C-alpha cells in the first residue's frame, strides 16, 4: 500500500486526519470530517492550487500588499491598508472546486479525483468590491467582465498565458463580490490566498482568485488558458474552447455526511449539507431507499444567507439491512438536483443525487 502522504509545508497547520491528501497542491476534507457546523473550520477546509503557493512571507505585512485596480474611471494601486478604510462586510459563502464530485465520472475525467470534500462554508471579511469601484469612479463604459489576476511568481521559460491564474466573471458579480483579508475571523493565510483574495459568492472556487494583485473591468474575458479553454463544460472527448459554458455560478447540491457506513437498527439521525449556489435554498429531501420515497429534512442552525450552506437532519427509523441513503436539494426557483450525471469531459459541476448517496449497513 502507498504511504499516506504528509501535508505540504504551506498547509502543515491543517488537521491531517480530517483530510485526504491527493497531492501537494490538492487536499480534500474527508466526508466524515465535514460535520454538522454551518461554518467549516479553517484547518479542515480543502486546498487546491493550480500553481505552487507563494512563500509564507507574503503575509508578513498584509496591509502593505498591493492590488492594481483597472478598467475604472480612476485606475489606482491600493494597499490592503487602503482597502480597510473603504468599507467592510462579512459574507458566508460556500467555496467549492468546479471538479468536486469528479471521482464519480465513469469515463475517468482527468484531474484531481475529488469526491465530496472539495467544498466548505466560509465566513469572508473584506471590502465590498462595489465600494472600491464606486470610489474609483465606476467601471469604464462597455466593460462586461471583472478579471482578477493571482499573485504567484510564474516559473521562467513558459508562456505566462498558459499558467497564470487569471479569471473573468460577468460584471453582474460586482453586486456581491468582495476583496477579502479575513477568513473565519482570522487574517487570511497564504494557504487560502492571503493577504487578499477575490471572493465571488456562489461562484465556483476557481473564480475566487487568491493573492489577488490585479482587478480589471474588461470588455472581454481574459485569454489566459485557465479561462479560455480551462474550466469549460463540454462533451466527453471535446477540447475546451471559449464558446462553451464557463464554471461561474454553482448549481444546487447536497450530500449526506453521516452515517456513512454502518448503524444500529431503530432511530437514526441522517445529517448532510446543502446549498443553492447563488440562489437561496428551498428544501432538502432525503430518501433511505435509494430514491423510491422521500421525506423533507429539517435545516439545522442559523441561515447565514443565500451563499452559505445549510446543514440538515432527518430522523429515520431504519430496519436491519442495507440502505441507500440519498439527499436532493431544491432552490427557491425550483431548480433541483438531477438523479444522474451530466457527462462532461473534465467532470465539472456534478450535482446528481444518485452518485452522491451512501450505502449504509444497519445491524
Ligand atoms: N487562486 C490562485 N491565485 N491560484 C490558484 O491556483 N486555484 C483556484 C482558486 N483560486 C487558485 C486560485 C481553484 S481551482 C480553487 S478550487 C480555489 O482557489 C481553492 O481555494 P482553497 O482556498 O480551498 O485552496 Mo477549483 O474550481
Distance CA 115, CA 96 (A): 12
Interval between CA 210 and ligand 1 midpoint (Å): 7
Average pLDDT over residues 317-337: 98
Interval between CA 296 and ligand 1 midpoint (Å): 34
Q: From edge to edge, which strands make up the β-sheet containing 358-362?
A: 262-263, 358-362, 321-331, 281-287, 295-296
Q: Whose CA is closest to atom 14 on ligand 1? A: 206
Average pLDDT over residues 326-353: 98
Average pLDDT over residues 143-164: 96
Q: Whose CA is closest to atom 24 on ligand 1? A: 47
Substitution site in 29, 49, 151 for ligand 1 pocket (most atoms within 8 Å of beta carbon) = 49
Q: Whose CA is closest to atom 23 on ligand 1? A: 47
For the chain, percent of residues with pLDDT exceeding 70: 99
* pLDDT tens by residue, 15-52: 999 999 999 999 999 999 999 899 999 999 999 999 99
* pLDDT tens by residue, 52-90: 999 999 999 999 999 999 999 999 999 999 999 999 999
Pick the CATH number of 253-362 from 2.60.40.650, 3.40.50.300, 1.25.40.10, 3.90.209.20: 2.60.40.650
For residue 169, give the nearest of 199, 138, 213, 137 by alpha carbon. 199
Interval between CA 214 and ligand 1 midpoint (Å): 16
CATH classification code of 9-228: 3.90.420.10
Interval between CA 264 and ligand 1 midpoint (Å): 40
Substitution site in 99, 123, 196, 205 for ligand 1 pocket (most atoms within 8 Å of beta carbon) = 205
Ligand 1 binding residues, C-beta < 6 A: 45-51, 95, 97-98, 150, 152, 165, 192-193, 204-206, 208-211
Q: Whose CA is closest to atom 25 on ligand 1? A: 97
Q: Is the pLDDT of residue 1 over 60?
A: no
| DSSP-assigned beta bridge partners for residue 329 | 284
Interval between CA 209 and ligand 1 midpoint (Å): 6
Average pLDDT, the chain: 97
Distance CA 157, CA 154 (A): 9
Interval between CA 48 and ligand 1 midpoint (Å): 5
Distance CA 178, CA 144 (A): 18
| DSSP-assigned beta bridge partners for residue 258 | 271
Chain centre distance of CA 107: 23
Predicted pLDDT at 2: 63
* pLDDT tens by residue, 251-309: 999 999 999 999 999 999 999 999 999 999 999 999 999 999 999 999 999 999 999 99
Interval between CA 178 and ligand 1 midpoint (Å): 16
For the chain, percent of residues with pLDDT exceeding 90: 98
Interval between CA 49 and ligand 1 midpoint (Å): 5
Substitution site in 102, 206, 215, 344 for ligand 1 pocket (most atoms within 8 Å of beta carbon) = 206
3-state percent breakdown (helix, strand, coil) of the chain, nearest 5 = 15, 35, 50
Nine-digit cell string for 124? 469572508
For residue 356, give the nearest of 276, 254, 233 by alpha carbon. 254
Q: How confident is the model at residue 195 (pLDDT cuts 50, 70, 90)?
A: very high
Distance CA 295, CA 317 (A): 12
Query: Quick one: which atom of ligand 1 is closest to the CA of 120?
Result: 23
Its ipTM equals: 1.00
The helix or strand, by DSSP H or E, that contains position 312, with its residue range, turns out to be strand 310-318
For residue 43, give the nearest of 239, 189, 151 by alpha carbon. 189
Q: How confident is the model at residue 4 (pLDDT cuts 50, 70, 90)?
A: confident
Interval between CA 290 and ligand 1 midpoint (Å): 34
Q: Where are the domains positioned within the chain?
A: 9-228, 253-362
Interval between CA 204 and ligand 1 midpoint (Å): 9
Q: Whose CA is closest to atom 17 on ligand 1? A: 205
Substitution site in 210, 231, 346, 349 for ligand 1 pocket (most atoms within 8 Å of beta carbon) = 210
Q: Is the pLDDT of residue 333 over 60?
A: yes
Amino acid at each position: 500500500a502507498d504511504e499516506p502522504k504528509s501535508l505540504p509545508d504551506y498547509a502543515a497547520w491543517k488537521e491531517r486526519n480530517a483530510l485526504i491528501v491527493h497531492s501537494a497542491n490538492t487536499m480534500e476534507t474527508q466526508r466524515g470530517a465535514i460535520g454538522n457546523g454551518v461554518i467549516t473550520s479553517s484547518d479542515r477546509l480543502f486546498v487546491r492550487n493550480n500553481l505552487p503557493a507563494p512563500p509564507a512571507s507574503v503575509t508578513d505585512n498584509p496591509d502593505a500588499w498591493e492590488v492594481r485596480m483597472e478598467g475604472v474611471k480612476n485606475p489606482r494601486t491600493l494597499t490592503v491598508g487602503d482597502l480597510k478604510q473603504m468599507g467592510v462586510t462579512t459574507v458566508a459563502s460556500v467555496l467549492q472546486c468546479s471538479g468536486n464530485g469528479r471521482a464519480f465520472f465513469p469515463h475517468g475525467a482527468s484531474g484531481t479525483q475529488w469526491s465530496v470534500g472539495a467544498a466548505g462554508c466560509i465566513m469572508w471579511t473584506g471590502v465590498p468590491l462595489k465600494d472600491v469601484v464606486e470610489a474609483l469612479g465606476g467601471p469604464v463604459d462597455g466593460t462586461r467582465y471583472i478579471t482578477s489576476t493571482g499573485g504567484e511568481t510564474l516559473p521562467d521559460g513558459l508562456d505566462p498565458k498558459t499558467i497564470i491564474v487569471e479569471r473573468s466573471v460577468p460584471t453582474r458579480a460586482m453586486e456581491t463580490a468582495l476583496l477579502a483579508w479575513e477568513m473565519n475571523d482570522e487574517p487570511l493565510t497564504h494557504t487560502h490566498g492571503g493577504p487578499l483574495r477575490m471572493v465571488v459568492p456562489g461562484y465556483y472556487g476557481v473564480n475566487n482568485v487568491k493573492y489577488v494583485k490585479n482587478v480589471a473591468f474588461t470588455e472581454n474575458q481574459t485569454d489566459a488558458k485557465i479561462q479560455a479553454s480551462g474550466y469549460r463544460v463540454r462533451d466527453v472527448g471535446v477540447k475546451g474552447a471559449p464558446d462553451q459554458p464557463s464554471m461561474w455560478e454553482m448549481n444546487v447540491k447536497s450530500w449526506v455526511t453521516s452515517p456513512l457506513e454502518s448503524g444500529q437498527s431503530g432511530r437514526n439521525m441522517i445529517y448532510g449539507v446543502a446549498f443553492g449556489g447563488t440562489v437561496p435554498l428551498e428544501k432538502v429531501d432525503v430518501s433511505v431507499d435509494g430514491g423510491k420515497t422521500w421525506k423533507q429534512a429539517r435545516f439545522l442552525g442559523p441561515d447565514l444567507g443565500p451563499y452559505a450552506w445549510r446543514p440538515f437532519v432527518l430522523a429515520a427509523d431504519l430496519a436491519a439491512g442495507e440502505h441507500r441513503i440519498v439527499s436532493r436539494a431544491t432552490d427557491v426557483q425550483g431548480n433541483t438536483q438531477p438523479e444522474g450525471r451530466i457527462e462532461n469531459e473534465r467532470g465539472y459541476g456534478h450535482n446528481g443525487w444518485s452518485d452522491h448517496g451512501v450505502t449504509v449497513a444497519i445491524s
